[in-house]
Amino acid sequence: MFKKMHATEYYKKFVQTQGLSIATKSLKYLQKNYDLVILEGAGSPAEINLEKYDIANMKMAEISNSSVLLITDIDRGGSFASIVGTMSLLDKRYQKLIKGFVINKFRGDINILKPGFKKIKEITKRSVLGVIPMIDIDLPEEDSLSGKAKNITWNKKNLDKIENEIDKISKLVNSNLNIAEIERMIS
């Protein structure tokens, strides 16, 4: 983990300076050392209130000149609206990177989706490239999607517990690396 910081510090001081630099160096290191690099975004690429700070989605796709597949979770509902909404909210330069769509976690008769595929193609000029069926595999929910909110008392003991949980869910590939080691690896 780089360091813990308040969201304001993360967005206003870290993301567009050190954050983008570290992410770009990491990407270049991976591209140099591997034949294939797959980038996975985080959340929605069309959070218009966070767009200038979002380095996990379309900014990295742009830097790497990657083709993008927009994947939607149909189990949560609203997949077709999500696809159209995302495309309409993205800047034109980012829209150009999206090559098609994938529907994830589908249950049922695929024929029910086909009229939606046609309408999506008409509206976005891109196709649904695939449908992934709902598969029962034991994977943890992404981030905190399955968590239930709790009322807590905001005291030192509880804040320490929260800090420990944040440490546990950190998505660093190797939590034993510090920032100096990461920079050394990618330089």
pLDDT in tens, 60-88: 999 999 999 999 999 888 999 999 999 99
Evaluate whether residue 147 is within a structural domain.
no
Average pLDDT value for residue range 25-32: 94
**165 has a pLDDT exceeding 70:** no
For residue 178, what pLDDT is reported? 52
For residue 24, what pLDDT is reported? 93
Evaluate whether residue 160 is within a structural domain.
no
For residue 76, what pLDDT is reported? 83
For residue 108, what pLDDT is reported? 87
pLDDT band at 143 (very low <50, low <70, confident <90, very high): low
Evaluate whether residue 184 is within a structural domain.
no
Strand, coil or helix: 151 = coil
Interhelix angle for 79-89 vs 114-124, to 10°?
10
For residue 167, what pLDDT is reported? 66
Please answer whether residues 83 and 95 qualify as being in contact, where contact means their C-beta atoms are separated by less than 8 angstroms: no
For residue 64, what pLDDT is reported? 92
Evaluate whether residue 118 is within a structural domain.
yes
Mean pLDDT of the chain: 82
pLDDT band at 176 (very low <50, low <70, confident <90, very high): very low
Average pLDDT value for residue range 22-29: 93
Average pLDDT value for residue range 154-181: 62
Q: Is the pTM of this model over 0.75?
A: no
Please answer whether residues 58 and 23 qualify as being in contact, where contact means their C-beta atoms are separated by less than 8 angstroms: no
For residue 146, what pLDDT is reported? 57
Evaluate whether residue 27 is within a structural domain.
no
Q: 């591209």: which residue's tokens? A: 31
Please answer whether residues 128 and 99 qualify as being in contact, where contact means their C-beta atoms are separated by less than 8 angstroms: no
For residue 72, what pLDDT is reported? 93
The residue among 107 and 142 whose pLDDT is bigger is 107
Q: How many CA atoms lie within 13 A of 59 on its CB side?
A: 16
Residues 166, 171, 174, 180, CA torsion sign:
negative
Evaluate whether residue 187 is within a structural domain.
no
Domain of residue 108 covers 38-138
Evaluate whether residue 159 is within a structural domain.
no
**169 has a pLDDT exceeding 80:** no
Evaluate whether residue 31 is within a structural domain.
no
Number of domains the chain contains: 1
